Amino acid sequence: MSVRLFDLSGRLALVTGSSQGIGLSLARGLGAAGARIVLNGRDADRLAGAVAELRTEGIEASGELFDVTDPTAVTAGVARIEEGVGPIDILVNNAGIQRRAPLEDYSVETWHELMRANLDSVFYVGQAVARRMIPRGRGKIINIASLQSEAARYSIAPYTASKGAVKNLTKGMCADWARHGLQVNAIGPGYFVTPLNQALVEDPRFDAWLKARTPAGRWGRVEELQGAAIFLASAASDFINGQVIYVDGGVLATL
């Protein structure tokens, strides 16, 4: 198989929530495959630092500051990118948050905060970008789902609900937009060492449980998500649509 199938040269990728963690790693991987990168975040200093970091690695990168939970800001941000940087060929809907609490104690306000960040943002940014991609007859949208799209764990029921919805929204986007030449798929990370998971990484009981539960016997490294992103962003996946690729070290494959 030709490596050109995975070449992203000349493509422009927008990665939401990409100032750090998984988002920044995915942006780095897409950039290393040849794509120009637009990072997104809400913290101007952190976003500028991430852009500078990628540029020192030889990746053509810029930043776009907007809140993915605000549909008006999303529409304006996407317009600025399209008009100032270029047509968006690849969208990675990565932005998200985690809020842990027993479900019986979970506040309504926190529920809505989490749903806005994890689910509403995928709809807002996905729709705004797809409206630009559809007339062009092509585009790659990659939503970041989760191991929790399939399995629940104590104290994160709302997160599980949000990521299950992302999985099915991915299928819905495929059903509506595949006819226009778009491929919409998702990546479902398992447990990775990220700022979002730092409390779990530092918990000896959870760390031991996770390593025993995962066939690979370890936490994932964020760079290990890059291959799936490059595949789903490239011509190699042109007839793959509405799917979730789980990158979890084997957790979902075993009891």
**Calpha distance 48→116 (Å, rounded):** 24
pLDDT digits (tens, 9 = 90+) for 181-225: 999 999 999 999 998 888 899 999 999 999 999 999 999 999 999
Q: Is pLDDT of 1 > 60? A: no
Residue 61 DSSP one-character state: E
Question: How is residue 229 written in tokens?
Answer: 């992103």
Residue 12: pLDDT band by 50, 70, 90 thresholds?
A: very high
d(CA 175, CA 156): 29
For 100-154, the pLDDT digits (tens) are 999 999 999 999 999 999 999 999 999 999 999 999 999 999 999 999 999 999 9
> Is domain 3-194+221-247 classified as CATH 1.10.20.140?
no
Active-site entry in 106, 124, 159, 191: 159
The domain spans of the chain are 3-194+221-247
33-66, pLDDT tens digit by residue?
Answer: 999 999 999 999 999 999 999 999 999 999 999 9
Q: Is 191 a catalytic residue?
A: no
Residue 215 CB neighbours (<10 A): 11
Which tokens belong to 55?
């540029």
Please write the tens of the pLDDT for every residue from 145-179: 999 999 999 999 999 999 999 999 999 999 999 99
How far is residue 238's CA from residue 48's CA, in Å, rounded to a whole number? 33
The pTM of this model reads: 0.97
pLDDT at 112: 98
d(CA 64, CA 226): 21
